[in-house]
Amino acid sequence: CSICRKTAGGGGFAINLGGDAGTLKVDGREHVRIYHAVMRDEGGIAERSPAERHFCGECGSALWLWDPRWPELIHPFASAIDTPLPIPPERTHLMLGSKAPWVEVRADARDKQFDEYPDESIAEWHERLGLVR
């Protein structure tokens, strides 16, 4: 969404993943800070999001998002993961309705594109593609 786009910087987008919150390992946790975005509803009413956007207090890099409404899940930014990640057989470009107008989506024929969230969850995407261990 526009919040991750702005806080993550880079090319005007963010690449986040889904994972089991119990498996998160962090070196340098003392440097981690938390940001709660202020979200506005359709009527313009501002409300503090319960979601915690974790970032490095030393360099400002976006690290992961955790939300108490789904405590078992963690959403790390791919750029913050130090171990090699596999190349996915297809990509899902979502929340394109929040992208900056100057961003051109680089998608190939296998990729899917959505203005908001797709019906398929991150877990279902992994299962469909046989990527679950």
Tell me the per-residue pLDDT of 34-69, one tens digit each, with 9 for 90 and over.
Answer: 999 998 888 989 999 999 999 999 999 999 999 999
* Domain 14-82 CATH (choose: 3.30.360.10, 1.10.510.10, 2.170.150.70, 1.10.150.530): 2.170.150.70
Domain boundaries, the chain: 14-82, 86-133
φ, ψ of residue 59 to 5 degrees: the values are -115, -10
The answer to whether the beta carbons of residues 94 and 114 sit under 8 Å apart is yes
Residue 25 has pLDDT above 80, yes or no: yes
- Supply the pTM of this predicted model: 0.82
Residue 8: per-residue pLDDT: 74
